[in-house]
Amino acid sequence: MTGSPVLRAEDVDVVRDGRYLLRSISLTVCEGEHWALLGANGAGKSTLLGLLGALTHPTRGTVQVLGHTLGRVDLRELRTLVGHVNPRHPLRSPLRVLDVVLTGLTNTVEAVPRRRTEPGRVEQAERLLDTLGVDARRDALWPTLSQGERGRVLIARALMPRPRLLLLDEPATGLDLAAREQLLDSLDALARDHPELATVLVTHHLEELPAGTTHALLLREGRALAAGAADEVVTTERISACFGHPVRITRTEGRWTARTGRPRTGGPLQPATSAAMAAADSGASR
């Protein structure tokens, strides 16, 4: 059952130097929903994620994060309530994995000197590392981790304040096949263990979507082409229109793949036309 809204954007524009980065975007994300923001490079995905994570303000329109309206709340305070995973985490010190996770409590990159952590919080960090499949690395030093291990540790870190919302900005960037699959399995496990948690994941690769993805928003040149239930949005016609290239979309065991070229049955795929893009645009439901 859908829970209460944790994010709501209404008719949002973002304009920089006279150029629209986002135009007329509306989106509602509720508890327990797992959204994907999809689009080509430059479509506006990271700009939208910045709004949802209370990093920036809209030029026009309204954005509510966890019931707080941007422009009427201290953004620094609001950010502490949102789990935001940045794969380019700027840590330089050789902290233990467990200590990296615990920095999520202080929202700092480095450990706070002489700060004592309650045993219950340490146990929470250990449980999160277990859920994300990196518990065996709890005492390893940060520089020794692979890129995939770092990504999962940073998700555990973001969850330490027990946020209702988790934002993931291209978390599979730079991962090899095995590391990507481990990450996606961990995200599905996270959704099962924390059914109230809402997530928004940015990517431009369908293969990087967890099987538990429930909803999707397609962006093209700052506009929403479609938004809603994933199976209704992540379709051959709409993805072709979104990326401006004919592709064939399939879903097997919850995971999506995209292929270009001639389908196994029927004729060749046609280029994404303006009519197809208009049809996709009419499906933008939120």
> Of the candidates 9, 104, 17, 91, which has an alpha carbon nearest to the alpha carbon of residue 58?
9
User: Could you tell me if residue 147 is inside a domain?
Assistant: yes
Structure tokens belonging to residue 282? 């009419």
Q: pTM of the prediction?
A: 0.84
As for how many domains the chain has, the answer is: 1
Residues 202, 213 contacting (CB under 8 angstroms): no
Residues 98, 135 contacting (CB under 8 angstroms): no
Residues of the chain with pLDDT under 70: 1-2, 261-286
User: Could you tell me if residue 269 is inside a domain?
Assistant: no
pLDDT tens string 50-95: 999 888 899 999 999 999 999 888 888 888 888 988 878 888 889 9
Range of the domain at 150: 89-162
User: Could you tell me if residue 101 is inside a domain?
Assistant: yes
Structure tokens belonging to residue 17? 């130097």
User: Could you tell me if residue 52 is inside a domain?
Assistant: no
- CA geometry: angle 175, 249, 28, nearest 5 deg: 80
Q: At 135, is the secondary structure helix, strand, or coil?
A: helix
User: Could you tell me if residue 55 is inside a domain?
Assistant: no
